[in-house]
Chain A
Amino acid sequence: EAQVTQNPRYLITVTGKKLTVTCSQNMNHEYMSWYRQDPGLGLRQIYYSMNVEVTDKGDVPEGYKVSRKEKRNFPLILESPSPNQTSLYFCASSLSVGGGNTIYFGEGSWLTVV
């Protein structure tokens, strides 16, 4: 079954404590990205990756890091989380870059920073 898997699904953490949200896809997709969803703002892209070792900033990259060492994995790293990073996070993947490809979303990760 085609899947994008995120972990953890729910997390409460404290300000400044580094955390990583993992994302894995089983479809051999080249393109992966991270979005955050906040009330009244829709989804906004944080970072994206067009292939292994190729990453770039999206619209709201501040406070986040990513890496793409393997094709299937695209972790999101919060080096020093702050309360304004409390949000619902989605990982997504598609076969390749290009608007015509179907984008698959993970189930989302709820992150609360206190």
Chain B
Amino acid sequence: AQTVTQSQPEMSVQEAETVTLSCTYDTSESDYYLFWYKQPPSRQMILVIRQEAYKQQNATENRFSVNFQKAAKSFSLKISDSQLGDAAMYFCAVGGSQGNLIFGKGTKLSVKP
């Protein structure tokens, strides 16, 4: 069984500052993938970043990066130079061999101007 825990229901950051969203997971699979999805008010699901568990190097996509600690089963998302458009719900998810995604409950991020 796979589980994903996001311990921060809500977070707030000042524009241009950096914020880190936490995620821990548990899985019995040896080959799995980790994802962060952004869901703006439109409710569209937007892939932010993806990490292959077999890769030690942390994934980076522009202002978004992850801190992947495999032994600790931790997968946090860092957003640098936060922008107003980053305000959204963020979901952490783990994907395994069956193709399904197990999602956390989400973290609502607010960006203050």
B99 touches A48 (CB 8 A): yes
Asked, given contacts A50-B99, A102-B47, whether A43 binds B33 with beta carbons under 8 Å apart, the answer is: no
A46 to B57, CA, bound (A): 33
Instruction: Kindly state the interface size class of chain A when it binds its partner.
Output: 20 to 34
Partner of B99 from A35, A88, A99, A108 at Cβ < 8 Å: A99
Q: Assess whether B100 is interfacial by the CB under 8 Å rule.
A: yes
- State the main secondary structure of chain B at its contact with A: loop
> Shortest Cβ distance from B11 into chain A, in angstroms?
16
Pick the most buried of B31, B52, B106: most chain A CB atoms within 10 A of its CB.
B106
Closest residue on chain A to residue B94 by CB atoms: A99
Q: Assess whether A5 is interfacial by the CB under 8 Å rule.
A: no
A42 touches B91 (CB 8 A): yes
* B residues whose Cβ falls under 8 Å from a Cβ of A: 4, 31-33, 42-45, 47, 50, 52, 91, 93-101, 103-106
Extra pairs beyond A35-B101, A43-B101, A96-B99 (9, CB < 8 Å):
A40-B105, A42-B104, A48-B98, A50-B99, A97-B97, A101-B99, A103-B95, A108-B43, A108-B45
Chain A to chain B: the 6 pairs with minimum beta-carbon distance, closest first: A99-B95, A97-B99, A42-B103, A99-B33, A105-B45, A43-B103
